Amino acid sequence: WRGQEAEAEASVVAMSRQLRAEQKKLRRSLLAVIRGAGVLVWLTAPVIYSLIVPLMLTDLFVTLYQAICFPVYGIPKVRRSDYVVIDRHRLGYLNAIEKLNCVYCGYSNGVLAYASELASRTEQHFCPIKHATPVAGAHRRYARFAAYADAQGYRDRVDHPDQPPGTP
């Protein structure tokens, strides 16, 4: 059994080396990326990356908000690591600039998804009512909210948040 396990592990390592070598062939050089970037790319990059400060502040404040408020109201906590995933920088076919971009995008989109999940749980707790008009990109809890004019449905959801809608 151990011999088979060692053989399988060696096979995975060899395959991993081969995959990395193939991926490295597809990596664009930094010089090619720098030369290929137009003037507008260079002018807009600082604007894009300037959002890191408000994103980090958002991350900090929503994390503090959850830590302080969710226990008080009995709202289940959100695991930040389920939303903020930074792993694409390990890919062999990315150069340094592409890796930095992937880290930035993974962090940015993760923080925004994390904040959205915290907001959706807050909304479910305090105001589980659908809007009068359709909402683009509504979170997954929204479908279970009370209809806009459904006073009883709202009261049921607020008074008994742990029960599925329509149960006594």
pLDDT digits (tens, 9 = 90+) for 88-142: 998 888 999 999 999 999 999 999 999 999 999 999 999 999 999 999 999 999 9
Residue 151 structural domain: 130-168
Count of structural domains within the chain: 2
- Residues 94 and 155 reside in one and the same domain: no
- Residues 72 and 36 reside in one and the same domain: yes
- Residues 100 and 142 reside in one and the same domain: no
- Residues 52 and 103 reside in one and the same domain: yes
- Residues 145 and 164 reside in one and the same domain: yes
Nearest to 141 by CA among 126, 81, 152: 126
- Residues 65 and 9 reside in one and the same domain: yes
pLDDT band, very low/low/confident/very high, at 13 (cuts 50, 70, 90): low
**Position 54 pLDDT exceeds 90:** yes
- Residues 67 and 88 reside in one and the same domain: yes
- Residues 101 and 136 reside in one and the same domain: no
Nearest to 24 by CA among 111, 86, 98, 80: 98
- Residues 100 and 35 reside in one and the same domain: yes
**Position 166 pLDDT exceeds 60:** no
- Residues 116 and 155 reside in one and the same domain: no
- Residues 141 and 153 reside in one and the same domain: yes
**Position 23 pLDDT exceeds 80:** no
- Residues 72 and 153 reside in one and the same domain: no
34: Cβ contacts below 8 Å, ≥ 6 apart: 97
Its pTM stands at: 0.80
- pLDDT at residue 36 in the model: 83
Distance CA 106, CA 128 (A): 30
